């Protein structure tokens, strides 16, 4: 098994006629993802060169015609919040938003409108989700992944690639890898996704990749020890040398008010029984050493 995406995923690409949407649609199809439709307002009925994928004006039309259950968003930041809401209104169960630079106020509006609803949002400003050998939704390089029993959930796209490659080189395959995104307001946090890994019988361990800013890692540590867990967790925290008050890369990666430092996060995770690697190259050995 896996979480979020698998061979049953029927994917819509919002923005499929654009440069990024068409490029990554090809990459996802080549990986084996079942891309059933594309959406670009005003271009319904057209085709994208080299892609045997119908294009619709609206997500609702695509869902009704192609029985889609997931959507990936490659549209400009100014339209991305409305694209998420359009998918939700059409009954899409999973929305993965790759777009970066979406205004915080726009994502706050999405959050308040969809809170408590039956939809999972991943992103924005994320690399996507991949269940190796089954389905890839996003921009991650599929060839570095290997099917297996270790999940990865990360706030950093490039660190995800580095850690996945290290795991694969060590012969450790992955069940599902999720890039949650690095913005202050995101659709799914660690505590939303860890229970899904816990419920997946084919995931034995999870690598949690955090960074400075916010309290998501501390909340994940508290979740881990709230009751006995089947999965094991190991972690890596980026930003150990980041100066206070300085945003490092992601909009959400900023230490403010003396909170959210890498040191505090590492201490909290270790106090909750989660081993933390000081270097990404240590993660495969940590995964192997954590008792089952």
Q: What is the mean pLDDT of residues 144-156?
A: 97
The listed CATH number (3.40.50.261, 3.30.420.40, 3.40.50.150, 1.20.1560.10) that belongs to domain 140-292:
3.40.50.261
Give alpha helix (H) positions in the chain. Answer: 19-31, 59-66, 77-89, 104-114, 157-169, 190-199, 216-226, 262-271, 283-289
C-alpha to C-alpha distance for 151 and 202, rounded to whole angstroms: 9
> What pLDDT score does 253 carry?
47
- pLDDT at residue 245 above 90? no
Mean pLDDT score across all residues of the chain: 93
> What pLDDT score does 89 carry?
97
> What pLDDT score does 213 carry?
84
Q: What is the mean pLDDT of residues 220-246?
A: 86
Shared fold status for 1-125 and 140-292: yes
145 contacts: CB under 8 Å, gap ≥ 6:
130, 132, 133, 164, 168, 173, 174, 177
C-alpha to C-alpha distance for 275 and 234, rounded to whole angstroms: 5
> What pLDDT score does 200 carry?
98
Q: What is the mean pLDDT of residues 70-82?
A: 98
**Helix, strand, or coil (residue 149):** strand
Task: List the CATH code of the domain at 1-125.
Answer: 3.40.50.720
Catalytic residues: 250
Domain boundaries, the chain: 1-125, 140-292
C-alpha to C-alpha distance for 61 and 56, rounded to whole angstroms: 6
Quick: pLDDT tens for 173-200.
999 999 999 898 999 999 999 999 999 9
Write out the two tokens for 36: 């059933």
- pLDDT at residue 273 above 70? yes
C-alpha to C-alpha distance for 253 and 215, rounded to whole angstroms: 11
Share of the chain above pLDDT 90, in %: 84
**CA 2: distance to chain centroid?**
14
**Helix, strand, or coil (residue 272):** coil
Residue 258: pLDDT band by 50, 70, 90 thresholds? very low
- pLDDT at residue 262 above 90? no
183 contacts: CB under 8 Å, gap ≥ 6:
100, 102, 104, 107, 123, 124, 125, 250, 251, 252
> What pLDDT score does 240 carry?
73
> What pLDDT score does 257 carry?
45
């Amino acid at each position: 098994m896996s979480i979020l995406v698998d061979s049953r995923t029927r994917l819509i690409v919002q923005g499929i006629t654009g440069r990024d949407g068409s490029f990554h649609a090809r990459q996802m199809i080549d990986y084996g993802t079942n891309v059933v439709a594309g959406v670009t307002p005003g271009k319904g009925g057209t085709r994208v060169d080299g892609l045997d994928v119908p294009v619709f004006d609206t997500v609702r039309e695509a869902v009704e015609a192609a029985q889609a259950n997931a959507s990936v968003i490659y549209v400009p930041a100014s339209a991305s919040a409305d694209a998420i809401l359009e998918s939700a209104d059409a009954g899409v169960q999973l929305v993965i938003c790759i777009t970066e630079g979406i205004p915080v106020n726009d994502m706050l509006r999405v959050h308040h409108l969809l809170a408590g609803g039956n939809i999972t949002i991943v992103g924005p400003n994320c690399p996507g989700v991949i269940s190796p050998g089954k389905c890839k939704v996003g921009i991650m390089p599929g060839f570095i992944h290997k099917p297996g029993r270790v999940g990865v959930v990360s706030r950093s796209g490039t660190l995800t690639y580095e850690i996945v490659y290290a795991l694969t080189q060590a012969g450790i395959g992955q069940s599902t890898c999720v890039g949650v995104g690095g913005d202050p307001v995101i659709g799914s946090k660690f505590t939303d996704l860890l229970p899904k890994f816990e419920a997946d019988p084919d995931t034995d361990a999870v690598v949690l990749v955090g960074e400075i800013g916010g309290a998501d890692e501390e909340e994940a540590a508290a979740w881990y020890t709230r009751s006995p867990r089947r999965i094991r967790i190991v972690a890596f925290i980026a930003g150990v040398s980041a100066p206070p008050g300085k945003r490092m890369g992601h909009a959400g990666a900023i230490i403010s008010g003396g909170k959210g430092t890498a040191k505090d996060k590492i201490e909290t995770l270790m106090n909750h029984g989660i081993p933390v690697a000081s270097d990404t190259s240590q993660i495969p050995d940590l995964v192997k050493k954590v008792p089952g």
